[in-house]
Amino acid sequence: MYFGGLARRRSRLNTLLFLIHTQSVAVRPPWVGRVSCSVHLNNNMRITKTLWNKASAARLLLYKRDASPPSNAVRVLGAMLGLQFDFEEPDLLQMEHRTPEYRKINPMATIPVLKDGDFTLAESHAINLYLLSKYGGEQKEVLYPSDLKTRAVIDQCLFFDAGMLFRRLLEVSQPAFIGKIDSASSTHIRNIEEGYGIVETYLESSPYVAGDRLTLADISLGCTVAGLEGIHPVDADKFPKCKAWLARLAAEPYFKEFAVAGGVLFGKLLRHVWRRNKKAD
């Protein structure tokens, strides 16, 4: 986007230009809310598109934790769409998500939760569908195509993630966080590998789980698998397509920033809890 084509936005640019002194400067324009973005100027006086993207949208508040795969799925999509969030981070180890105050926000007592103005929505898959529908623009057709059969396959993967794969992670993490286990059992590992096997099957004839290109299904399943790797890594010999798919996703900047880093953090947190539980025994 060039300054020469932005005359109609001159009043906003006056504020921005006043703040620019070097090649890269962090700015917080008042019309965007709490945003930290970099403006890079080159010989063509080009300005990053993200600054203007969704500038007039309502402020979005996300309740999340960095080690939470569902939270990271929302953050990956938000970054892809150029959305900006404010954040609240309930302390899950202190059970803040179980308090009466939090249950008023989300009766399920889970994260993530999105607030868009006076509208509140929980559950990462529902949140991502909402964000894509409202703010997706051209990306909506790319990430959640309108073709009936393609969309049905994406939905199948999303329901698999919500109903089965993520449950494999909770089967380990929930009892660990309340002090009941200090390692993953053989049953846990077998269940996780069963999930990896299903992902492997989804990838049998395509590079992504729902077809030839990345969709919402890859974002959600990829974040869950990145978290599961913190419990039991994907074995490339047993699940070569799953391993290659995960590497393919990790090459996407936002996936690496949120999903991969979040999975590593989840693994560290889980092992810390396991050590604590062993000492308690």
**Among 11, 24, 56, 68, the one annotated catalytic:** 68
Burial class for 87, CB neighbours closer than 10 Å (0-12, 13-18, 19+): middle
Alpha-carbon span 251 to 262, nearest angstrom: 15
For residue 87, the SS3 value is strand
68 included as an active-site residue: yes
CA 162 to chain centre: 14
Alpha-carbon span 1 to 213, nearest angstrom: 27
CA 44 to chain centre: 34
Cβ atoms within 10 Å of 245's Cβ, excluding its own: 24
> What are the Cα distances from residue 76, in Å, to 212, 238, 250, 252?
19, 28, 12, 10
- Annotated catalytic residues are 68
